A and B are shown apart, each in its own frame.
Chain A
């Protein structure tokens, strides 16, 4: 089971608590996690990545195990701690503006 922590705005949009759990086939990647997330919560389609080209939105970042994974290829396997559910994948709205 993969744990995903969402920003507050997306929790409100999808009507979920701050952390959701998803069943994702191995090897889990950012792409497969987002696929599962969007199937379970269709309201999130287009809010984290583009719906057509699947590119991460510019002000969205991905963190796990203290590392910024945002610039890694989204098909890279996630760290074992995330794949095993020990650590969550964090979807974060980047700090921007005043």
Chain B
């Protein structure tokens, strides 16, 4: 009896091995051929946790919009007929992201993974992309390491990073009179990176960071940390918390009446969904750097109107970034006629792009950093808000060349 079972298991195992060898992932296409005759776009992000609103399931909608637009543009001339959009939840955990990325590339035949917020998760997926030799277009994460020490051929950083945020906000606020800073940051990769970048940007602009306080992540009680930061009478408190933590910081900052004491609040990373959830009154006057705003011009507004119809909310820069990355990937596939990753990489490198999200955009060949115009934004006072979600006033546009870290400093060797 057991011999039969053993034989059966062995047969099944070898059968499975044979099947997987045939089905397989990896770039096998050449000269206009597509693996499995289709393209699979995979969105990997936080579908249920703290970052669900700023990206989450609505980013999948954004990617689907891109697919629809691509198919409408090319119709029968599209090089591939079947484009599949799939998604997975990494719950902001690097080990889950690692496993999901593997599954997406190997089992679901994903040609490209998009989004992946949370820097530690993004770095994990970048390693998987390198191993699978397939594309990874990161929109959601902030760490400059993706185009620095951990850069690789198949990874592109699309929307923003800590340098862009620090340089925009840190420099602008310091030059505007905010000389003495106290920084409060969450004690993990993103927070530590932001603290370093902000300190560098403030120093360069002629200001000084009196102290930095590392807080647990996640955390809901910042009252003591804020008291400590305020005790040295700085001009500005810079907070690097994001998501739910940021809401706690802002609520408690307002409660402690620090603005009346003459202390300004600069936020490292903010999404329009944060302003929406806490309310404009609480954020009014806050300065931050935004990668994109839905109400900047007619083109962004048109996209935002379509997005509103599909999702009942306005898009954050992450949603727009996912749309742009998906669309540009499909355009690259159309141009090369194949889903072969190496061909797409070659098409991408050095390409200049102008779409609804990327203004004066360029995909840098040296480190795969996608540069584009960034925007210094201020949260409006409640009286100036004309419609729901109309929360931001664009103070200045930071040109692409200035907004991102110079290539020489990136530390990327591919």
A binds B: no
List B residues at the A interface (Cβ < 8 Å).
none
Which A residues are closer than 8 A to B by beta carbons?
none
